Structure 1
């Protein structure tokens, strides 16, 4: 049976498709891509296998859609949070906080994205490059108005991404709790004032 395109779906069809995606996110996030079967997804979602194939031709196709959808949702939330702020520092703080808040409700992001190293390396790279592009744009704007040192925006972007990735992993993914305020304060201190004690009061 041919796949139904998203723009052809009725309201009910959209809900069914999303239910299948949400179930796949949960199972693949917990068990892993290679250990998850379409049968498991359909049983837990409460739909027939034929219904699954109406929306997704293969297990890989639903995995790809999970990565695309999570990426889009995450980047949108970060963009909204940053748009409300004026200075570069305020934007970065808001962006980090939006990321941590989003991951609280999508903890399987870590597992699903890391699996893509084995499932599809190009997809793995695409995911991080999309995140990096948002950072780069913000950094370039800050450099233009002299709120950021004129360093390579891509280098800065990946440094900031690394900080967000592992701070989120430490508290949200491992501890299943929001990132403490004092931790976010220290992250901003490191980013904007560094580790050098010169000039310290």
Structure 2
């Protein structure tokens, strides 16, 4: 079975100079990040605590400081980790060789599935706007850059009409964010495939009436 992207520890997840060098260390770091996701997701940044994180992780307080300098540091690391996990999940959901609006549908479906499995995602990213504005902005700019690159590739392949890839990327990202909120966080009354198919239709045909 493929490993959940959110369970992988990305390079740079720990504070600078505190990266784990052993498999056991990487496992401890992963447990701390998972525990931080639960702690921040349930309690929010201000109410969350280092002791709450270590208690959830089942680790000693000293283990926390082996990898992180502070609560702020693990929150910033968590935002980066979750941002990369979203990117990894979306990429994993894309069929090799797919392009154009089909690829956008596949990436959206994978994101919706990820959001349903990791409902803490939205609260953590939203709080990052105030707790770590640089990481918050980097998350959205990085996401838009990846989508724009997909559009550039699709235009080159002839599967999408030429246009402004940056504007398209931010528009698609905005659509995906709110579809994830409605059909990933607030409810699962529609299948991810149905929602993604409707989004694909919107990208393919638009909403204006044709003569």
TM-score (norm 2): 0.85
Superposed, which structure 2 residues align to 1:1-201 within 5 Å? 5-8=18-21, 10-176=22-188, 179-199=191-211
Distance 2:55 2:33 in 1: 13
Distance 2:146 2:26 in 1: 28
Deviations 1:129-176 (A, max 9, x none): 111111011111122233223221110001111111111100210115
The total of aligned residue pairs comes to 197
Distance 2:35 2:207 in 1: 44
Distance 1:51 1:139 in 2: 43
Q: In structure 2, do the counterparts of structure 1 residues 34 and 132 end up closer, same or farther at CA, with 3 Å as the change threshold?
A: same
Worse-superposed segment, 89-98 or 73-82 = 73-82
* Contact map agreement 1:3 1:53 (CA 8 A) in 2: no
How much is the aligned-residue C-alpha RMSD, in angstroms? 2.0
TM-score (norm 1): 0.89
Note the residue ranges of structure 2 that are not aligned, 5 or more in a row. 1-14
Q: In structure 2, do the counterparts of structure 1 residues 177 and 39 end up closer, same or farther at CA, with 3 Å as the change threshold?
A: farther
